[in-house]
């Protein structure tokens, strides 16, 4: 096994599972109900924030039983680090947002800089309203704006470096089937 693979296997083996898959799935189902109640008759366009939003978005979408459009965008600020930098747009959506209800879907609201930047961008494109849904909110007081929250939140999880269910550690373990914290972080 290469050193990277051995290191990454050790990361999973030593990690703390903070939320098992069944609990994550139950949270997504609760979110689907709340989103349906709020947006079911608004013809929304949903944006998956790549890469982290991929698994959450996929598991949520098939539980939304109303007409909607599903798109993606790619903005990133952590790269392979455990603290964030400047938000970098990798793919801006090519989609007419004027007058639309927009729902941004992402894996985690940590400091919230990513979702604020994306929400502001959508508002500047003429969206009628911009809502956010995050699978995980990290529990700390370092938000980009005091008290910043998603409009829909699945789970509130302690302030450690997380991976699984879309979240990565150094580019790995987005596929981990639950929410894990790296040992010592
Ligand atoms: O609330 P914040 O502190 O801004 O952090 C949250 C963002 O960080 C992660 O993305 P990342 O930049 O790691 O890109 P990725 O989605 O490709 O992993 C995550 O997917 C969120 O988009
Ligand atoms: O804890 C985290 N894990 C993975 N990606 C992240 N992006 C912001 N915070 C995190």
Strands 69-76 and 88-91: antiparallel
Best of 56, 167, 171 to mutate for ligand 2, by most ligand atoms within 8 A of CB?
Answer: 167
Domains of the chain: 21-157 (3.40.50.2020)
Taking 70 as the pLDDT cut, the residues of the chain under it are: 1
Q: What is the ipTM of this complex?
A: 0.98
Give the pLDDT score at 2: 85
d(CA 107, CA 72): 13
Q: What is the pTM of this model?
A: 0.96
Structure tokens, 171: 């580019």
Q: Which residues contact 77 (CB under 8 A, 6 or more apart)?
A: 84, 85, 86, 87, 88, 113, 114
Nearest ligand to the CA atom of 167: 2
Give the pLDDT score at 1: 61
Q: Which residues contact 53 (CB under 8 A, 6 or more apart)?
A: 72, 105, 106, 107, 166
Give the pLDDT score at 3: 84
DSSP state of 44: -
Give the pLDDT score at 132: 98
* DSSP-assigned letters across all residues of 8-19: HHHHHHH-EEEE
Best of 19, 49, 52, 111 to mutate for ligand 2, by most ligand atoms within 8 A of CB?
Answer: 52
* CA of 129 relative to ligand 1 center, distance in Å: 22
* CA of 82 relative to ligand 2 center, distance in Å: 7
Give the pLDDT score at 113: 95
d(CA 145, CA 51): 24
Nearest ligand to the CA atom of 47: 1
Give the pLDDT score at 82: 83
């Amino acid at each position: 096994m290469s050193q990277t693979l051995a290191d990454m296997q050790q990361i999973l083996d030593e990690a703390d599972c903070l939320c098992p898959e069944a609990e994550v799935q139950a949270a997504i189902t609760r979110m689907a109900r709340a989103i349906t109640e709020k947006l079911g008759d608004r013809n929304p366009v949903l944006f998956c924030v790549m890469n982290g939003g991929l698994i959450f978005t996929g598991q949520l979408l098939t539980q939304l039983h109303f007409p909607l459009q599903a798109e993606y965008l790619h903005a990133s600020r952590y790269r392979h680090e455990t603290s964030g930098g400047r938000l970098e747009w990798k793919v801006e959506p090519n989609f007419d947002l004027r007058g639309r209800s927009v729902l941004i879907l992402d894996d985690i609201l940590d400091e919230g800089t990513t979702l604020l930047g994306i929400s502001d961008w959508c508002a500047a494109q003429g969206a009628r309203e911009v809502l956010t849904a995050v699978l995980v909110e990290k529990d700390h007081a370092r938000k980009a704006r005091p008290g910043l929250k998603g409009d829909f939140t699945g789970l509130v999880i302690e302030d450690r470096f997380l991976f699984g269910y879309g979240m990565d550690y150094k580019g790995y373990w987005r596929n981990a089937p639950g929410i894990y914290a790296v040992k010592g972080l």
